[in-house]
Amino acid sequence: MDAALSEFASKGLQGARAEEIARQSGAAKRMIYYYFTDKEGLYRAAIQHAFSSPSALGNLSDLEDMATLPALEEMIGRTFDMHVERPDFVRLLLQENFQHGEHIRTIPEISQGTRSTIATWRKLLDRGIREGLVREDVDPVKVHHSISALGQFYISNQYSLKANFDIDSSLPETVALQKKHVIDMICRWILRPSTKFGPSE
Amino acid sequence: MDAALSEFASKGLQGARAEEIARQSGAAKRMIYYYFTDKEGLYRAAIQHAFSSPSALGNLSDLEDMATLPALEEMIGRTFDMHVERPDFVRLLLQENFQHGEHIRTIPEISQGTRSTIATWRKLLDRGIREGLVREDVDPVKVHHSISALGQFYISNQYSLKANFDIDSSLPETVALQKKHVIDMICRWILRPSTKFGPSE
DNA sequence: TATGAAATGGACAATTTGGTCCATTTATCC
DNA sequence: GGATAAATGGACCAAATTGTCCATTTCATA
């Protein structure tokens, strides 16, 4: 299944080769058709697998016990980590978007997850606003999108980053820097100018 | 050539169908092989075409005559617009990244463009720092990446945005809002807390 | 109008890829 | 160990896709 995910993620449904998936997985090609009927069946299964995977964002309840600012940073960090930990998922989602999401349509659990994420953001941000840390007109959806955009960018452009900027995303320290960048950017954006933040200034 | 770009952008090299490109372009399939030898030749030509297209970012010299803050906003806006105006280019670049950039490698003009863009950013940001508007530790590369990330995100996730958030990116007013969001976010991030910015607060 | 190059349609060959069959092997469970 | 199901390899068929051929048409230019 991992082999399928990887192949579909980088080549899409039509570009993926059934034989290559079989080879990579170590299983016999025959088995694909035995269990999934056809290539599209395997594709659907791979999508479903990717979305029902344990960690969408995991349990977020512990954020409520943290102070607001660390909680915000932690929430940003976890959202970013989710992208880093599941690069094939990120790529597959993009492939689906390129094809107008014709297969993802059949899976309802998806918007479920995002809805609850947004709800968490709203709670956190409201707390920040009440405490005078966060600007009043901050939109949870935009916050979520901005972090996702950065996460997606760093994992979907690894070749370009290497070729144009000599940034090697396979190094853990590179990823750590990127994560720091995202946290820094989002915080400075959503916090009130008067809120003290960060190592610099 | 537009037809090829569009097909390759959404399905990748292997997923694209030569016959579909011929049909869409209105030309005879025969002509593809007449001019480009094979599918991969057409693919290379499409990439080259996409990259050598007139507007990478256009002429940026007029920014020097503007006041710093408007110039920054303008630069952010233009970078964002570049993504909006050339969605197939953005998608194709992602496809290439998914395949480790094996074909883009042959085209040198690319890093040329980004290098000059970064240089422009550096000049602009330095001016902002000298005038006390911009924080001192702002990195031009990170700025550029952040804007690209947002631009890429909004055009590469149109289906998800519609399905999960009911955001219709085909509406010009939606795009205008997204652009505003990007400018707002980047400015609040890079400007000093003491710098007055934006309609809110 | 003559001429040669560019383009065409569409049938067709060649190749790749999706998908199947079957005899055999491997694992599972009693 | 024997019975049953799961898995295998690899040859094989069928369908899709790439790439070719050729007689014909279009079109620019002289």
Span B123-136, pLDDT tens digits = 999 999 999 999 99
Query: Which one, of A137, A198, A74, lies nearest residue B192 by Cα?
Result: A198
Residue A187 near residue A197, CB atoms below 8 Å? yes
Q: Do B11 and A98 touch (CB under 8 A)?
A: yes
Strand D atom within 7 Å of A119 CB: no
Question: Tokens for A198?
Answer: 């960060």
Rounded CA-CA distance A36/A22 in Å is 13
SS3 assignment for A33-62: HHHHCCHHHHHHHHHHHHHHCCCCCCCCHH
- Rounded CA–C1' distance between B25 and D30, in angstroms: 32
Per-residue pLDDT tens for B4-29? Answer: 999 999 999 999 999 999 999 888 88
All structural domains of chain B: 1-52 (1.10.10.60), 57-201 (1.10.357.10)
- Model confidence at A38, pLDDT cuts 50, 70, 90, reads very high
| Residue pair A46/A4 in contact by the 8 Å Cβ criterion | yes
- CA A6/CA B172 separation, integer angstroms: 35
Count CB-CB contacts under 10 A for residue B19.
9
**Cβ of A31 near strand C (distance < 7 A):** no
Nearest nt by C1' to A26 Cα: D8
Q: Is the pLDDT of residue B165 over 50?
A: yes
Distance from CA of A190 to the nearest CA of B (A): 8
Q: Is B158 on the interface with A (CB under 8 A)?
A: yes
Q: Is A114 on the interface with B (CB under 8 A)?
A: yes
Contacts of B54 by beta carbon, 8 Å cutoff, 6+ apart = none
pLDDT over 90 for what percent of chain A?
A: 77
Give pLDDT tens digits for A58-92.
677 788 899 999 999 999 999 999 999 999 999 99
